[in-house]
Protein backbone atom coordinates (compact mmCIF):
# COMPACT_ATOMS: atom_id res chain seq x y z
CA UNK A 1 0.00 0.00 0.00
CA UNK A 2 1.28 3.45 -0.90
CA UNK A 3 1.86 6.14 1.70
CA UNK A 4 1.18 9.87 1.47
CA UNK A 5 3.53 11.80 3.75
CA UNK A 6 2.42 15.33 4.65
CA UNK A 7 5.45 17.26 5.90
CA UNK A 8 4.16 20.42 7.53
CA UNK A 9 5.24 23.17 9.90
CA UNK A 10 6.00 26.87 9.78
CA UNK A 11 8.28 28.45 7.19
CA UNK A 12 11.85 27.66 8.20
CA UNK A 13 11.10 24.42 10.04
CA UNK A 14 12.80 22.30 7.37
CA UNK A 15 9.83 21.15 5.26
CA UNK A 16 11.64 21.45 1.95
CA UNK A 17 14.86 19.88 3.22
CA UNK A 18 13.08 16.92 4.83
CA UNK A 19 10.52 16.40 2.05
CA UNK A 20 13.20 16.38 -0.67
CA UNK A 21 15.34 13.89 1.23
CA UNK A 22 12.34 11.74 2.12
CA UNK A 23 11.12 11.59 -1.49
CA UNK A 24 14.62 10.61 -2.66
CA UNK A 25 14.75 7.83 -0.04
CA UNK A 26 11.59 6.18 -1.38
CA UNK A 27 11.90 3.71 -4.26
CA UNK A 28 9.04 5.21 -6.28
CA UNK A 29 7.81 8.63 -5.20
CA UNK A 30 6.53 12.04 -6.15
CA UNK A 31 7.01 15.28 -4.23
CA UNK A 32 4.27 17.88 -4.29
CA UNK A 33 5.22 21.40 -3.26
CA UNK A 34 2.04 23.05 -2.02
CA UNK A 35 3.45 26.52 -2.71
CA UNK A 36 3.93 25.60 -6.39
CA UNK A 37 0.34 24.33 -6.63
CA UNK A 38 -0.92 27.46 -4.85
CA UNK A 39 1.03 29.76 -7.19
CA UNK A 40 -0.56 28.17 -10.27
CA UNK A 41 -3.32 30.72 -9.79
CA UNK A 42 -2.28 33.71 -11.87
CA UNK A 43 -5.17 36.14 -12.12
CA UNK A 44 -6.69 36.99 -8.75
CA UNK A 45 -3.96 35.29 -6.74
CA UNK A 46 -4.02 35.83 -3.00
CA UNK A 47 -1.82 34.23 -0.34
CA UNK A 48 -3.44 31.16 1.27
CA UNK A 49 -3.90 32.92 4.62
CA UNK A 50 -5.98 35.61 2.88
CA UNK A 51 -8.27 33.44 0.74
CA UNK A 52 -10.06 30.40 2.12
CA UNK A 53 -11.42 29.70 -1.37
CA UNK A 54 -7.96 29.53 -2.97
CA UNK A 55 -6.58 27.53 -0.04
CA UNK A 56 -9.38 24.98 -0.47
CA UNK A 57 -8.69 24.85 -4.23
CA UNK A 58 -4.99 24.27 -3.54
CA UNK A 59 -5.82 21.33 -1.27
CA UNK A 60 -8.24 19.86 -3.83
CA UNK A 61 -5.48 20.01 -6.44
CA UNK A 62 -2.94 18.49 -4.04
CA UNK A 63 -5.39 15.66 -3.29
CA UNK A 64 -6.02 15.02 -7.00
CA UNK A 65 -2.31 14.95 -7.78
CA UNK A 66 -1.68 12.65 -4.82
CA UNK A 67 -4.45 10.32 -5.92
CA UNK A 68 -3.02 10.08 -9.43
CA UNK A 69 0.47 9.27 -8.14
CA UNK A 70 -0.86 6.72 -5.61
CA UNK A 71 -2.91 5.02 -8.33
CA UNK A 72 0.31 4.77 -10.35
CA UNK A 73 2.00 2.90 -7.51
CA UNK A 74 3.98 5.80 -6.10
CA UNK A 75 4.38 7.13 -2.58
CA UNK A 76 3.74 10.87 -2.25
CA UNK A 77 5.51 13.49 -0.16
CA UNK A 78 3.58 16.74 0.29
CA UNK A 79 5.57 19.80 1.36
CA UNK A 80 3.08 22.41 2.57
CA UNK A 81 1.66 24.11 5.63
CA UNK A 82 -1.12 21.78 6.75
CA UNK A 83 -3.30 22.16 9.81
CA UNK A 84 -5.46 19.29 11.15
CA UNK A 85 -8.59 20.46 9.30
CA UNK A 86 -6.72 20.22 5.97
CA UNK A 87 -5.46 16.75 6.85
CA UNK A 88 -9.03 15.62 7.59
CA UNK A 89 -10.22 16.90 4.19
CA UNK A 90 -7.21 15.40 2.41
CA UNK A 91 -7.86 12.05 4.08
CA UNK A 92 -11.52 12.14 3.01
CA UNK A 93 -10.66 12.98 -0.61
CA UNK A 94 -7.95 10.35 -0.85
CA UNK A 95 -9.83 7.58 0.89
CA UNK A 96 -12.79 8.02 -1.48
CA UNK A 97 -10.60 7.55 -4.55
CA UNK A 98 -7.39 5.71 -3.64
CA UNK A 99 -6.27 3.26 -0.99
CA UNK A 100 -3.27 4.61 0.88
CA UNK A 101 -1.83 5.28 4.29
CA UNK A 102 -1.36 8.90 5.38
CA UNK A 103 1.41 10.12 7.67
CA UNK A 104 1.28 13.64 9.09
CA UNK A 105 4.52 15.17 10.33
CA UNK A 106 4.56 18.66 11.84
CA UNK A 107 8.08 20.04 12.08
CA UNK A 108 8.48 22.31 15.06
CA UNK A 109 11.30 24.79 15.72
CA UNK A 110 11.99 27.27 18.49
CA UNK A 111 11.20 30.85 17.49
CA UNK A 112 14.77 32.15 17.66
CA UNK A 113 15.89 29.38 15.31
CA UNK A 114 13.06 30.19 12.87
CA UNK A 115 14.22 33.80 12.78
CA UNK A 116 17.85 32.72 12.23
CA UNK A 117 16.92 30.34 9.39
CA UNK A 118 14.69 32.95 7.77
CA UNK A 119 17.58 35.42 7.66
CA UNK A 120 19.68 32.83 5.81
CA UNK A 121 17.20 32.73 2.92
CA UNK A 122 17.52 35.02 -0.10
CA UNK A 123 15.73 38.31 0.62
CA UNK A 124 12.96 37.50 -1.88
CA UNK A 125 12.13 34.29 0.03
CA UNK A 126 12.25 35.62 3.58
CA UNK A 127 8.99 35.27 5.48
CA UNK A 128 9.78 37.64 8.35
CA UNK A 129 7.09 37.70 11.02
CA UNK A 130 4.94 35.23 9.03
CA UNK A 131 7.19 32.34 10.19
CA UNK A 132 6.52 33.20 13.82
CA UNK A 133 2.78 33.66 13.14
CA UNK A 134 2.64 30.18 11.59
CA UNK A 135 4.55 28.63 14.50
CA UNK A 136 2.07 30.20 16.91
CA UNK A 137 -0.87 29.01 14.79
CA UNK A 138 0.40 25.44 15.08
CA UNK A 139 0.63 25.88 18.87
CA UNK A 140 -2.90 27.34 19.02
CA UNK A 141 -4.34 24.54 16.86
CA UNK A 142 -3.49 22.01 19.55
CA UNK A 143 -1.66 19.60 17.26
CA UNK A 144 -1.53 16.14 18.79
CA UNK A 145 2.00 15.71 20.16
CA UNK A 146 2.42 12.39 18.35
CA UNK A 147 2.63 14.27 15.02
CA UNK A 148 5.25 16.78 16.16
CA UNK A 149 8.91 16.37 15.28
CA UNK A 150 11.29 18.98 16.70
CA UNK A 151 13.91 20.06 14.16
CA UNK A 152 15.38 22.96 16.15
CA UNK A 153 18.75 21.22 16.40
CA UNK A 154 18.64 19.69 12.90
CA UNK A 155 21.93 19.64 11.05
CA UNK A 156 22.70 18.41 7.56
CA UNK A 157 24.00 15.15 8.98
CA UNK A 158 20.71 14.46 10.78
CA UNK A 159 18.43 14.67 7.75
CA UNK A 160 18.80 10.95 6.99
CA UNK A 161 18.03 10.11 10.64
CA UNK A 162 14.90 12.25 10.52
CA UNK A 163 13.76 10.57 7.30
CA UNK A 164 14.35 7.16 8.89
CA UNK A 165 12.25 8.25 11.90
CA UNK A 166 9.39 9.32 9.60
CA UNK A 167 9.54 6.14 7.54
CA UNK A 168 9.67 3.71 10.46
CA UNK A 169 7.62 5.32 13.23
CA UNK A 170 3.90 4.63 13.00
CA UNK A 171 3.07 7.40 15.46
CA UNK A 172 2.72 9.77 12.47
CA UNK A 173 0.05 7.61 10.82
CA UNK A 174 -3.44 9.08 10.59
CA UNK A 175 -5.85 6.49 11.93
CA UNK A 176 -9.22 5.80 10.32
Flag whether pLDDT at 96 surpasses 80: no
Residue 163 has a pLDDT of 94
Q: Which CATH superfamily is domain 2-172 in?
A: P-loop containing nucleotide triphosphate hydrolases (3.40.50.300)
Q: What is the dihedral of CA 73, 84, 82, 143, to 10 degrees?
A: -120
pTM of the predicted structure, to 2 decimals:
0.91
Work out the pLDDT band at 3, boundaries 50, 70, 90. very high
Flag whether pLDDT at 24 surpasses 80: yes
Residue 48 has a pLDDT of 81
Flag whether pLDDT at 81 surpasses 80: yes
Output the CA–CA distances (angstroms, integers) from residue 97 to 6, 90, 91, 135, in the order listed. Answer: 18, 11, 10, 32
**Segment 104-152, tens digit of pLDDT:** 999 998 988 888 888 888 888 878 888 888 888 888 888 899 999 988 8
Locate all alpha helices (DSSP H) within 72-146, ordered by sequence.
84-97, 111-120, 129-140
How does DSSP assign 116-135, residue by residue? HHHHHS-GGG--THHHHHHH
Work out the pLDDT band at 23, boundaries 50, 70, 90. very high
Alpha-carbon Rg for the chain in angstroms: 15
Flag whether pLDDT at 61 surpasses 90: yes
β-pair type (148-150, 100-108) = parallel
- Range 154-160 contact pairs with CB under 8 angstroms and sequence separation of 24 or more: 154/14, 154/17, 159/17, 159/18, 159/21, 160/21, 160/25
Amino acid sequence: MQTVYVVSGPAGAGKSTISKALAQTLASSARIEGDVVNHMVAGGYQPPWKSERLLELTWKNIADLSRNFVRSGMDVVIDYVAFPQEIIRLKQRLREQAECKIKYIVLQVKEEELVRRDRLRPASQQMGHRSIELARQFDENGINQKFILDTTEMSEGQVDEICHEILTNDRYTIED
